[in-house]
Amino acid sequence: MPSRRDVLAAVGAGSVGLLAGCTGDDPVRGDWHRAGYDDGNTGDARRHRGPKSNPVVKWSARIPETYNVSSPILVDDSVYVGYGNDEFSSGADTVGVRVLDIETGKPKDDFEVATSPRDATENGATYFDSVVHANGNLFVQCFDGLHSLTTDGKKRWHVPMHGGPTNGGLRTAHSVVTDGLVYAPTAGITADTDGPKAKEALYAIDDSSGQVVWKHVPRTDEQGWTFPPAYARGVVYLSVLDYGVVALNGKSGHVLWKKELAANGPPVFADGRVFVSGELPSGEAFVVALDAGTGDEQWRVSGRGTRLGRRLGVAHGSVYFTENLRNFVAVDAATGDELWRHNYPSGIERSTPAITDEGMYVAVVKNRSDDGIAVLDPKTGEEVSFGAIENGNGLESSIALSDGLAVVTANSDTVYAFESCGFSLAGHCLS
């Protein structure tokens, strides 16, 4: 990659061009270990920075043939992306992890996690958006359960969970790894299975041995899909579709409290509260704040239409969420009072926002052929900048940030890395 001096030399020779494409002098290092960023699922990454001004695509890389969305994980000089198949894809029935160079997007490694017969599930789905990095290892959920591997692909252990991913939009199964335990949701394995009907559950697994320490099975006759949990201060918070929210002792699995509500998204823990999105059979959607110690409801805000707030972000004393996949809304985390809203008529994706001091990164659809990431001011909701991708196929994965980069996976099975570019010369960014 040309240095700044090389570019300036080319400019002196008359080679001046105003083209997109950026470079930097310092190597990029990644530090984004799970979708939702932290164990509370907050997306609160205020110690990080992303591309604030004029985001442009630094690199793009296709992963193996798949239709599944996988949120990227950034660790040191690598990007880890899981992949698998469903009824829309035609590749080999392999679940794996592709490792990309964080600077260039070039493949560094690719290793197999599991191989499935095509009829392992009724809809052919094999993989969850689930890759998590913790304690120097990877954790991947797929059709046959949870796998733990080293970062170079060596298998550590496997915990079977009968069933397979659903064909709906609830295919995230990100574990929380802390205090020697892995808290892993089954995330919808009871639906669309040919094999034994498994019960939805949250597993607590010993990280060193792979032994199951305890398992919580929600008592529900509904589909009851379990969402990625949140963890704080020795307590695991689990939301279950159309069932409610449960607080569990992290060591024993003992139920501390349960709140019945029509949950429709993962819980978020922040500032002594648990925030959850929900949706009633009538189509009314809501976001609720619960006291983390008791489960008592503190406030609730409702919105028009469906799918309000399926993925929440919490930072700066505010809760950020989508309403009807058209508006991005901020409310006061203590009171639920609305602070601002920003409308995107063509749509907002259901990804967790990534929030820094200077910007909030959201996957949006500006029109049918113009998808990308929008950078909003967290205090006002004003759009600061927008970076488009090459193909308008949607960006449903969570966004990862590190050292001025924003990395996201598109539905077109392509990983994109954005960076800021103030202006460019000879095809290279100088700012």
| Domain spans of the chain, in order of start | 4-429
pLDDT digits (tens, 9 = 90+) for 309-334: 578 999 999 999 888 777 889 999 99
91: pLDDT confidence band, cut at 50, 70 and 90? low
Per-residue confidence (pLDDT) for residue 7, from 0 to 100: 32
**CATH T-level assignment (fold) for domain 4-429:** Methylamine Dehydrogenase; Chain H (2.130.10)
Neighbours of 41 (CB within 10 A): 31
Which residues lie below 8 Å from residue 169, measured CB to CB, with a gap of 6+? Answer: 310, 350
What percent of the chain lies above the pLDDT cut of 90? 53
| CA 405 to each of CA 330, 397, 416: distance values in angstroms, whole numbers, following the listed order | 24, 15, 10
**Predicted confidence band of residue 410 (pLDDT cuts 50, 70, 90):** confident
- Cα dihedral: 10, 12, 18, 21 (round 10): 30
For 100-122, the pLDDT digits (tens) are 999 999 999 999 998 876 555 55
Token pair for 350: 């259901």
260 by DSSP, 3-state: which?
Answer: coil
C-alpha count within 13 angstroms, C-beta hemisphere, residue 91? 17
> pLDDT tens across 46-84, in order?
989 999 888 999 999 988 766 666 899 999 999 999 988
Q: How confident is the model at residue 23 (pLDDT cuts 50, 70, 90)?
A: very low
d(CA 78, CA 72) in angstroms, rounded, equals 10
- The model's pLDDT over 119-139, given as tens digits with 9 standing for 90+, comes to 555 555 678 889 999 999 999
